[in-house]
Structure 1
Amino acid sequence: MGTPYRVAIWGPGEVGGAIARACHRRPDTALVGAKVFRERKHGADLGELVGIGPIGVAATTSRAEILALDCDVVIVTPRPGVLGNELDTDVIALLESGKNVISTASYHNPAMPNWLSATRPPPSRLLKACHTGGVTLHGTGVHPTFMVERVAMTLARALSEVTHVRCVEAVDFAAASGSMWGGLRRLGFGLDPAEVKAGAPLALFGDLYYGDLTGNVAHHLYGVGMDEVKVVHDLRGLPAEERYTTRSGFTVEPGQTAALHLTHRGFIGDHHFFTNEECWYLGPENAYLGDDLPFADHGTPGPINYTIEITGEPSVVRTRVAFEQNRAGANPDRTNPITGASVQAVLDALPAVCAAAPGILTDDPRPRYVHDARVTLEGAAS
């Protein structure tokens, strides 16, 4: 094995902490630093912050210390509230300092315009920073990236023509931390359903993920420019019938929002080519998996489910994917299956990001082929 990748974590929270634990276990990665955002964490051992005991790596609140750090890649897992110009400023500085950047919270499609674009540096500024530092920027995760850009786009290759792609994510948020993504109430849970509208923070925040995703689908399927893609979003709340309290103590009363349905639709001209739906709910009692799903029997809903339907010629392709909670005693890093899958997406990207020529790296769903190394010429007749 070669020299381990030297890794720093920018924001060791739920996802960043899980990545740090995974990196500590792997022989091909070495943790060398961490950027934290609370003074009480400054100087603390990163291992203690993420629950694995001392590892001899001190966390810091100092941006300058991370910029001066000798490392191969910084894995950026920031708070949702800093997405936009503040994050761009930090990422540009990291890139210019000669550090590759892998992000789970942004940069899935920097070319895709959205409501924040006017306040952010142009995508060309990110590319310039990559070339200045001689490094690479890559955004990855489960959704965007794995479920649609890889799974759905691979399935789409089975059709000669694709007219529409639908992806429905259904997630039980009952086990989520009460402070996750700013808190369940900030997402819309517990509010009067009439207050849950398209202009709510969740719907706008979703544009930064699912708008990027929509642009990626348009590019992969039709090769169009991002300025040709229109994204329309909607958000609605579904009420609880009975009082429900999560494990973190968050309570929803009857009539208050216990399920959220966030929809992003992509258009190229009049062609509605893509629909992404997020169905987030609190507990099996309030399970909402989506409307008019192609599979009638869903059984008992698991914590995380995906339904993918691709319409085209000469057929329609449909599939379901479910992430189940681990059995008792399983690796605690993967209590949340989506967190575990996000960790894997980041780790899978490490070699490619560190080896790539300077620039912005994106997932490529096109078929790729390698020679079969299992067959050799040894013993062949001359």
Structure 2
Amino acid sequence: MTGPVVFVEPATEHAGHWQDAVIKLATAATAQGHQTVVVTLNGIPGHIHDALREHGIRVAPRTEGPSSRFLALLGGAAHRTATAARCLLPHRRLPHQITLLARCLIEAASLRTAHHTLGRSPEVAVVLTASEALHGLTRALSRTRHLRVVHEVITTEDGLIRALGRLTRPGEVTVLCPTAAVQGEISILFPDLNTDVHPFALAIPEDRITADERTHARRALAIPQGEPVLCLVGGWWPHKDMATVAAALERLTRPLHVLVAGGPTDPVLMHQVATAPNVTLHTRPGSLTPADIRQVYAASDFTAVIRHPGVGKESGLVADCARLGVPLLLSDHDRDLTSRVHGWAVVVPPRDPAALAYAIDHAATHPPSMPPLTAAEDLGLCTPAQMLALFRELSDTLAAKEPTP
């Protein structure tokens, strides 16, 4: 039996990735003989909780130990204060600062819960959706050496938060960034912080969608066989350029089924899509399970990932295409990403509805090529076991740097 492994998921109300990643990582850890704990103080979807339990993985949904309860109490109060401030204050900087503090406290409470549950420090502890700030303070409050996966930098620290951050040194944490762009932002904000770059999305060799699945998915979603289908998967977050997508769909010259899955969406843009002359709209709203997402992709001929120029965060949807074998239309918003999918994705200029409409029209009659079997490797994705090995390597490096008591 090797040392215990802890995953914290999520540390914020919006996860930065499909949450089934924690199932795959925790299952891989258990298969290797680790005692595995998943701490979920902010809650997780029921199907994720059930799947973890089915694999014999211990789930800690509530605080354990007095220090964890105290930190969680403070974190909850800070979160409520941030929510009230967003309603009362005309500018959003202060609410964001309070949210950074709330996330720090909940992360620390989660790690203290893991320590109390195990009765010892974990060999590997990973906050899978960590805050982009107060790294050292989280380490000090939790008293736990850990890794932090920061998917994006949403806000920066103001004076008070910076002062709190300076109270502690972040030397015993490592921030794992899914792209070089995110690492660049983190390194500017925290030049003394340990950082590393590796995609977070996971690859499973057996993931690719089969021809039979495609037929069954069309029947299940009542979409006629043989007619072209574009899917748009996931929430319409600010980094996505859905206005360009909606404008492009209005310009189509050929009939197309558009399958919108997940949320949130923009009701104004949804109406624009629904009333587009050549579009037949289908929707799968709300929270989707991994099986739901797979069915949506299986029912579709291709998907589109259209973002604003300069967005450098990891795209879980592009990773989906690489893993599952889904043809892709991609905006040229990130040159590094474009270079990695060269040869299998159809790349279109950003913020260009006419060019996107032409690409969609062409794809409807000449379906794009499926990603090759090497697509996941091209993106640098690794299996859960390989990701766990990376976590262990980074944790061992931190342990070596830890000062001797």
TM-score normalised to structure 2 length? 0.40
User: Hey, which of these two has a bigger chunk of helix by percent?
Assistant: 2
User: Hey, which of these two has a bigger chunk of strand by percent?
Assistant: 1
TM-score normalised to structure 1 length? 0.42
Q: Which has the higher contact order (CA 8 A, sep 6+)?
A: 1
